[in-house]
Amino acid sequence: MIKQKEKIIFEVSNLKKYYPVRKKFFSRQKQYAKSVDGVSFAIKENSILGLVGESGCGKSTIGKTILGLTSPTGGKVTFRDKIIFDVENNISISNGEMTKLRSEMQIIFQDPYASLDPSKSVGQIVSEGIKKHKIVSKDKVEEKTREMLELCGLDATSIFKYPHEFSGGQRQRIGIARALAMNPKFIVCDEPTAALDVSIQSQILNLMLDLKDKFGLTYLFISHNFSVVKSFCDEIAVMYLGQIVEKGEADEVYNNPKHPYTKALISSVPIQHPGEEKERIILKGSMPSAVDIPSGCRFHTRCPYKTERCMNETPTWKTLDNETGVACHLY
């Protein structure tokens, strides 16, 4: 649960990330895929914000853009009151400052197979950042590496082994140890359990919760899986086609969803208890292309409640009595 007087560690205002796409023949107009199109949110220190939505809605692009792994098209991001970039005011952190901050902001990737270099030993993989950012003195690097692996539930002798000698869950533990070795404050977790078996998923999530409490970490947790987000996160932001359409405390969003898209996503979560009844809302079609965004409310092509107004007028963000924010003409 989010408590009062918690400090904001990460703030994102009107973030945009557009990718140029090949122009149509004879067309003079430049075309863009608007992967992220005006997204704002703040994350409270030592909390977990879940970013949830269908594949291709822009949630992973947000993770990469706020960490400076891809350049933004617009917007402003601050981390612990330090401006990382403010595109409209031409401000961007220097490379030197970014290198210093880099250790405090880490990422855990979805695919534990692709994210670890198979030619390097686990010791090399986990110690790489420790050495680069001089987290400890040279003579303490191995000790720190072993300590991180043990904290993540792996044997310290794993430093001599190679990624192919581990299972998917163990590889994800190596990825977490690599991120943790940098003494981070904030971690983007980009679908960290999506590639794992259900039985392993909960072990990894429990490990991440333990580490969060032990080290006072803050997570941005990106997932397409509403039931995982609901059980793991303090707050939830629901994304559709490059924008946040609803945001609020996790229990409130899950038990009392407002936006028709949120309702549809939750209706597809498998029943959790015997006797629980749920009406499945089947959405028509698939999410439109980010190159050809529908007018008005961008969800209107699939919304069972759409009216004439929805097709012409973009809904503005409204904060309701329960502090949930929603962008929909129904509110």
Binding site for ligand SF4 (CB under 6 A): 259-260, 297, 299-300, 303, 305-306, 310, 315, 328-330
Q: Please give the structure tokens belonging to residue 40.
A: 């704002």
Q: How far is CA 130 from CA 83, 124, 142, 217, in A?
A: 25, 10, 10, 18
Closer CB to ligand SF4, residue 101 or residue 303? 303
Give the separation between CA 227 and CA 266, rounded to whole angstroms. 8
We find the least distance from the C-beta atom of residue 312 to ligand SF4, in angstroms, to be 11
We find the least distance from the C-beta atom of residue 326 to ligand SF4, in angstroms, to be 9
Closer CB to ligand SF4, residue 69 or residue 311? 311
CB 61 within 8 A of CB 222: no
CB 53 within 8 A of CB 59: yes
We find the least distance from the C-beta atom of residue 261 to ligand SF4, in angstroms, to be 6
We find the least distance from the C-beta atom of residue 314 to ligand SF4, in angstroms, to be 9
CB under 8 A, 24+ apart: contacts of 98-104: 98/68, 99/133, 102/133, 102/182, 103/129, 103/133, 103/135, 103/182, 103/183, 103/184, 104/79, 104/80, 104/182, 104/183, 104/184, 104/185, 104/186
We find the least distance from the C-beta atom of residue 260 to ligand SF4, in angstroms, to be 5
Give the separation between CA 176 and CA 2, rounded to whole angstroms. 24
DSSP 8-state secondary structure symbol assigned to residue 305: T
Closer CB to ligand SF4, residue 163 or residue 260? 260
Closer CB to ligand SF4, residue 185 or residue 258? 258
CB 18 within 8 A of CB 30: no
We find the least distance from the C-beta atom of residue 323 to ligand SF4, in angstroms, to be 19
Closer CB to ligand SF4, residue 70 or residue 307? 307
Closer CB to ligand SF4, residue 272 or residue 295? 295
CB 286 within 8 A of CB 317: no
Give 319's strand partners: 325
